[in-house]
Amino acid sequence: MMLLSLFSLFLITIPHEKAVQFTLPSKDTTQFLENPIDMALDKEGNLYVLDSLACTVFVWDREGKFLRTIGKKGEGPGEFAFTKYSAREAFLNITDDHVRVFEGPRKLIHVYTLAGKPVEDIRYGKEGAIPAFFQRTKKSYVTYSQNYSQRPPVSELKLMSYELVDKATIFTVPEGDFVPRMVNGKRHGWTVNAFWAYPALHADAHGDHILVGRNLAPEFDLYDLDGKKIRTVRFKKGRKPVTEADREEFLSFPWLKGNEAYKAEFPEYQPYYTDILPLTHQRFLVLSQSPVHQNISGIMIDENGKTLGSVALKLGQGGRIQSINGRIFAAQINEKGDFSVSELKFPVPEG
């Protein structure tokens, strides 16, 4: 750990710049971002941002001009029923000139035209499975779900056909972020394992690879669209110890404050990373993100795992950063609680 810490002192800091700033809706619009959870691009370069609390998809053109919204809150056809308790079970995809919104709580795929006209609602998924990743590629759906109804609970990364039939399982692992506290055979709340090593997953709608990072080692795997492992990328990066400030930040989650049903336990070290974002030219951002304030630190590496420099960014609570076709987009929130959306550029250091 000490050698890697010293190694990090000599890294080049890679600055980022806002290449495109996406404008706010007009003053007549009463609704804007509350919890941006997923983003996508259409073939014209228009940006779509799904907000699970606003129950809306916001759309901008490639120059950053606000265009329209898609969908609204409700339980009818083409409407979203997300709540603050299911805000993370929301996913967005654009393929074959259609917008797809995956609504985990009701196990629905809402299909729209690019102009926002509802086409159909498709039911999918198994009862008891909580979706944590859902993406449509050129060949299939890539799905990652956590199933707490099984004993012991498990998580699975699968490929499903467009008809929503299982094609392949990439991995199945025990799930341990929420563990029931049992007393005399009865559940008395949950133990929350803070800084649980959730896998870092990425699949672009028009890409050729599925990225899978298990983040308990400084490496990640690349798979083809049929679920066959291509290679492992290894890199140098240390694990940060969990500090008292880290504990205080984690315990500031609103759902943990004063809630006797949950008891948090903390490991000695954080995972090696929380996210891996592919860039163009076979480069990657390997990032660690704080749980509440969402302060980001990390490194840029090349396709062979060579470190090119360090990066840092502040998103703010509720912010979002995402790679789409090798481009980086971020929704950031300031101290006043106002969101801004932009495309970020991370120039590659020379030499």
Q: 351 lies in a domain?
A: no
Among 123, 148, 172, give the residue marking a domain's end.
123
Same domain, 22 and 59: no
Yes or no: say if 158 and 173 are a contact pair by the CB < 8 Å rule.
no
Those residues of the chain that have pLDDT short of 70 are 1-11, 26-30, 125-128, 150-151, 350-351
Cα 161 from Cα 244, distance rounded (Å): 46
Same domain, 333 and 220: yes
Q: Looking at residue 49, which CATH number applies to its domain?
A: 2.40.10.500
Q: Number of folded domains in the chain?
A: 2
Among 100, 123, 146, give the residue marking a domain's end.
123
Residues recorded for the chain: 351
Q: 336 lies in a domain?
A: yes
Same domain, 11 and 55: no
- 230 CB-near residues (< 8 Å, 6+ apart): 209, 221, 222, 223, 224
Question: Across-strand partners of 18?
Answer: 344
Check whether the bond before 152 is cis (ω within 30° of 0): yes
Q: 348 lies in a domain?
A: no
3-state secondary structure 287-335: EEECCCCCEEEEEEEECCCCEEEEEEEECCCCCEEEEECCEEEEEEECC
Q: C-alpha angle with apex 144: 143 to 147, nearest 5 degrees?
A: 125
Q: 222 lies in a domain?
A: yes
- CA-based nearest residue to 48, from 85, 15, 93: 93
The DSSP result for 40-95, as a single string, is: EE-TT--EEEEETTTTEEEEE-TTS-EEEEE--BSSSTT-B---TTSTTSEEEEEE
Same domain, 130 and 117: no
Q: 347 lies in a domain?
A: no
What does the pLDDT read at residue 56?
A: 93
What does the pLDDT read at residue 7?
A: 41
Same domain, 144 and 207: yes
Q: What is the dihedral of CA 177, 267, 36, 279, to 10 degrees?
A: -110
Q: CA end-to-end span of the chain, whole Å?
A: 27
3-state SS assignment for residue 199: coil
Same domain, 20 and 129: yes
Range of the domain at 90: 31-123
Same domain, 181 and 193: yes
- Other Cβ atoms less than 10 A from the Cβ of 309: the count is 16
Q: 219 lies in a domain?
A: yes
- 191 CB-near residues (< 8 Å, 6+ apart): 178, 179, 180, 181, 262, 263, 264, 265
Among 123, 145, 169, give the residue marking a domain's end.
123
* Helix H or strand E segment including 249: helix 244-251
What does the pLDDT read at residue 22?
A: 87
Instruction: Tell me the per-residue pLDDT of 216-235, one tens digit each, with 9 for 90 and over.
Output: 899 999 999 999 999 999 99
Instruction: Tell me the per-residue pLDDT of 96-108, one tens digit each, with 9 for 90 and over.
Output: 899 999 998 888 9
- CA-based nearest residue to 135, from 153, 116, 152, 160: 160
Same domain, 141 and 178: yes
Same domain, 275 and 297: yes
What does the pLDDT read at residue 11?
A: 60
Q: 165 lies in a domain?
A: yes
Same domain, 223 and 255: yes
Q: Is the pTM of this model over 0.95?
A: no
β-pair type (129-136, 210-213): unpaired
Same domain, 313 and 209: yes
Same domain, 43 and 142: no
What does the pLDDT read at residue 9?
A: 44
44 alpha carbon, distance to own chain's centre: 23
